[in-house]
Amino acid sequence: MLLARGLVDEVPLLSGIEALYGRSVHHCLYCDGYGFEHSGEPMAAYGAGDKGAGLALMMTQWSPDVILCTGGEADVTPPMAQGLTERGIKIFPDRIVGLEGDCGRLKRVRFQNGIAIERSALFFTTGCQLDEKGGVITDPLTEETSVPGVYVAGDVSRDVLLVVVAAAEGAKAGVAINHALLREDGLC
């Protein structure tokens, strides 16, 4: 059995996001090169707890001016908070009441406490998580899980959520399944 599945982007319910999503508000730093596109600009990471903190820390590869917006959810653990402090990332724990922009360009993030912070881009984390790494553990050569005869490919198997990776995993799993069936029939 081959389990192959993708993801549906869970876009946060934030006022103003519709006009900005895909232009200056994104779900992935890597998928479309948006981290690089906003290089050097003031950016915001939006995500709860350590997952949001991890995103903010990654964003410092593209900009020295990053803030973390936790939306009032899940505290950041002390080790992650220390990493944020060391990189000058300020945490904004209040809920976001709106994203303001013009012609698809984010201008500011407005918080429930009335503060508005100027930002050019916002990246958010999604809620999808299957295990602590975000995927099912598989044999790297065959994509077989710990359950004999069950293989996985695509976003269910790794935390590298790229189409090219999913296609390669599917091809590897397909060959492994074919070989397993041939062995069952005594043909190899």
6 within domain boundaries = no
Are both 71 and 145 inside the same structural domain? no
Is 127 exposed, middle or buried (CB count within 10 Å of its CB: 0-12, 13-18, 19+)?
A: exposed
Gap between the Cα atoms of 143 and 136, Å rounded: 10
For the segment 21-48, what is each residue's pLDDT rounded down to a tens digit?
988 998 877 765 566 688 899 999 999 8
Q: How many domains does the chain have?
A: 2
pLDDT in tens, the chain (188 residues): 665 665 556 788 899 999 999 889 988 777 655 666 888 999 999 998 888 999 999 999 889 999 999 988 778 999 999 999 999 999 999 999 999 999 999 999 999 999 999 999 999 986 533 445 445 566 667 777 766 777 776 666 555 566 666 667 667 767 777 777 778 877 77
Are both 142 and 83 inside the same structural domain? no
- Domain containing 100 equals 25-124
18 within domain boundaries = no
At residue 174, the pLDDT reads 72
Tokens of 114: 């009335």
Are both 168 and 120 inside the same structural domain? no
31 within domain boundaries = yes
What mean pLDDT is reported for the chain? 81
The percentage of the chain sitting over the pLDDT mark of 70, rounded to a whole number, equals: 69
50: CATH: 3.50.50.60
172 within domain boundaries = yes
Q: Which of 100, 124, 148 lies at the terminal end of a domain, its last residue?
A: 124
Of 7, 58, 53, nearest in space to 29 by CA: 58
Tokens of 181: 């069936």
Are both 105 and 147 inside the same structural domain? no
Are both 107 and 139 inside the same structural domain? no
At residue 151, the pLDDT reads 73
Are both 93 and 44 inside the same structural domain? yes
101 within domain boundaries = yes
Are both 59 and 111 inside the same structural domain? yes
